[in-house]
Amino acid sequence: MPASKRRRKTKDPSGVGLPGGGGGGGAKRSPALILVALAAALGAGAFLMLQTTDVKTINVHVPSLTAKATAGQKVFNATCAECHGDNAAGGPAGPPLITSTYHPGHHADGAFRRAVALGVPQHHWKFGNMPPQPKVSGAEIDALIAFIRELQKANGIY
């Protein structure tokens, strides 16, 4: 092969030949590549900061409840409060439910039904997956939803 067609090899400081003149500590970095890497690192850091399990409980005003919501409160206290805290204000193993995250426009009633019946993978908080609650009946789930929605409404969520 003529000399003009051969790739020139250069050696990096370790003594290993690298084709095409690359290698060594003096390789130039594209400014765009550096900006992309920096943006990715900052974005990952911000995401991790928002995914904390150090969730503080919130103050929840409990209004006078309808009969259905009162029944839901009893089910909540027996089944959900251990993780989600008293009056869904947040607890050691579950997020508060009286926040805009669980507004009916973002988590409709069907999302609560599915979460109780089937469980749900973690997606807003780092508490881990919520297990299904197979002992809670459909009527009890409806009462739970009435309880949560009445608390949300009384606390200005919607």
CATH top-level class for 67-154? mainly alpha
Residue extents of the structural domains in the chain: 3-50, 67-154
Q: 100 and 157 in contact (C-beta within 8 Å)?
A: yes
Give the other-Cβ count within 10 Å of 109's Cβ. 15
Q: Is 143 exposed, middle or buried (0-12, 13-18, 19+ CB in 10 A)?
A: buried
| pLDDT tens track for 27-64 | 566 777 776 666 666 655 444 444 444 556 899 999 99
pTM to 2 decimals? 0.66
Would you state the structure tokens that stand for residue 35, as one six-digit string? Answer: 């900006």
**Residue that the structure tokens 């997606």 belong to:** 123
Mean pLDDT of 125-146: 96
CA–CA separation, 36 and 30 (whole Å): 10
